[in-house]
Amino acid sequence: MDMVAGEKERGTMATILLTPVKRETIALGKLISLAVVAVVTTLSSLLGIILSIPFSSKIFGAAISINKITFTPGQIILILITLLLLVSIYVGLIILISVIAKSVKEAGSYIAPIYMIVLISGVLAMLGGGETTMVKYMIPIYGNIIVLQNIFSFDVNFIYFAVNSIVSILVTAGIVLVIRKMFYYEKFMF
């Protein structure tokens, strides 16, 4: 959140915007830099999950035979794609909120409801229930969590996966377009 809101608060954003670089280039640079950090974090988390599976029976005890779970390279790729799409939505939302806010504190108060939506989405996906419908996969964040749940339970429907992927890409693209536009409005940038 400090990437934009913090710079606005410190007054360095005004200096950056006065450079001969296009504002959309600055906006995309901030998005890409945060995305790189988020992707590296996602990859390290995925690697940690995969590498910890053989040792999980020692951690959870013999009652859980999770060490017999193996993922095919195809499933790992599906997990990776889903995580990257989810991360792209998160990165876009964080930068968007940072652009809207005038200070880091204000951005923190705006991001709290987003965190709650993510938590509630995870709980709702765990509780499951009801029929599996296409509409559930079209809901950003919640649909991604359901896709991950399906992959981890070895019950992947490729049509639902594709629909969720397309929706995630469209939502991310929409957020990026809004951020690019907002960088040109003085109301948001100062």
Locate 126 and state its tokens. Answer: 């765990």
CA–CA dist 8, 17 (Å, integer)? 11
Q: Which amino acid is at 151?
A: I
CB 169 within 8 A of CB 86: no
Locate 146 and state its tokens. Answer: 């359901």
| Full domain range(s) for residue 137 | 2-189
Locate 51 and state its tokens. Answer: 């590498």
> Of 26, 13, 25, whose CA–CA distance to 189 is shortest?
13
CA distances from residue 102 to 91, 147, 157, 186 in whole angstroms, order as listed: 18, 36, 43, 12
Locate 132 and state its tokens. Answer: 């599996």
* Per-residue confidence (pLDDT) for residue 56, from 0 to 100: 64
Can you list the residues of the chain whose pLDDT is less than 70? 53-69, 129-130
Burial of residue 34, with CB atoms counted within 10 A of its CB: 0-12 exposed, 13-18 middle, 19 or more buried: buried
Residue whose structure tokens are 């670089």: 21
DSSP 156: -
Domain count, the chain: 1
CA–CA dist 167, 146 (Å, integer)? 14
